[in-house]
Structure 1
Amino acid sequence: MDGGLFSLSVTKKGLFASIESNNTLVSYYEYRVGGTKTRKLPSYVRYLNGSLALFINLSEPSEPEGALSVPPASSLPGQYMRLWPDEHLRVYEWQASKGWTRVADLLTGYSGECGYPMVCGKYDICSGGQCSCPSTYFKPIKDRQPALGCSLITPLPCEASQNHSFVELNDITYFTFSSDLTNTNSETCKQACLNNCSCKAALFRYGWNPSSGECSLLSEIFSMIDNDKEKTHYNSTAYIKVQNLATLK
């Protein structure tokens, strides 16, 4: 799948799962640990029976500063953990009647499968684990394999930036959000994206006041997510930059 390299790393701030976007690592999972690291010993995680334990500022025999819960192994030969090409960190246990069986999926959050950057490929929308292209400006990579993502029907050349416009996708959010503008509105957010050739989409979200929201400018678009307001507690709109079809006639 063409989606950039992804990684699982331990730093002095915690445990992070990331995907590469234009030579920058963007986190899709974070387990942050507070405090200040004063010792020169490396931060690390240890896979224990019942947890993936984080030792960030301290080290053993001290207690871990955080942990991801894992069902304790119930039989020999025990368990193993693997980071898969679909960005999941899964735990498998040997069960006599079934063989190696998945017992945990450690990086999956409240967005479920939709919280993974390439679950539906680029430009695609994930809703309840199902994938779909957003509008007539896009086409699926393969009609019978929607999880491979979508592509723009018409490219976005910088020299034709005066002909760029947006497809507005209401109630759409993203696996990550980094505020480029704060205390702003949707029109200012869109204009900031139009003024930047490398910007491919503007994400705008707000709580109760649409005149005081946050704006994130994306230079690459991975899978988008149908926004469940009962879980996120904010309103969110994605403005995807496209070539104005009227200028091509």
Structure 2
Amino acid sequence: MSGIHVEDLSIKFRIYHDRSPSLKESFANIFKRNGQSAYSEFWAVKNLSFDIKAGDRVGIVGHNGAGKSTLLKALCRVYESSEGIVSVDGRIAPLLEIGAGFHPEFTGRENIYLNGSILGYSRQQLKKIEPEVIAFAELQEFIDTPVKYYSTGMYMRLAFTLATAMHPDILVLDEIFAGGDAAFMAKAQSRMHDLIDKANIMIMVSHDHLLVKSLCNRVLWLDHGRLIADGSPDEVIEQYVAGKNE
């Protein structure tokens, strides 16, 4: 049975003070800063602990920079923890940065195989789902065009359709409904409801509170990397909105 255990998770990043220094300049600055560090550190998430069990549909809310996307990337192993434990039991389908795994010079069809392999699909699996992906994404005319010529909407349709083509144990979503034309959005939401129904666990970040309430049975509120509240969607979102308006 799928499950997620997070214990005292902390993730630290560095902020460099020199704007895009070259390697030569960075090396020279080692000797010029009179012992001062060329960067400062901050904790994107700090001491997070929670468990997610099979059947949970968890929404994550918080202001921009609260650590929401960092947490999702830690669950998907994009980021390693600086401290603490992240234990995931089950196959994850991450919908994080739309089209991030696409190669701009490759066609849509070629990117199905490239991005699909990154998502962990075999070539045989991808060959089986290829026609359905192309049809659902409405890209029949453009599938053999390099994706560098795609609009943002076309990118989103292809990436979303590919990432949702198979039913994972754990579905992780980051603002997946943030763009796209209305007709495709309605179709995508219907597909998402079906996928969520079949997933053992769903975790999503969204600023759309109505969407969170409609899809989730539990909400985590993050602020400056820390867990402020964990409970029912109505209660936690009400607390979050009240806190924002204070």
Does the alignment reach a TM-score above 0.5? no
State the TM-score, normalized to the length of structure 2. 0.28
Q: Which protein is richer in strand relative to its size?
A: 1
Q: Which has the higher relative contact order, 1 or 2, with Cα contacts under 8 A spaced 6 or more apart?
A: 2
Q: Which protein is richer in helix relative to its size?
A: 2
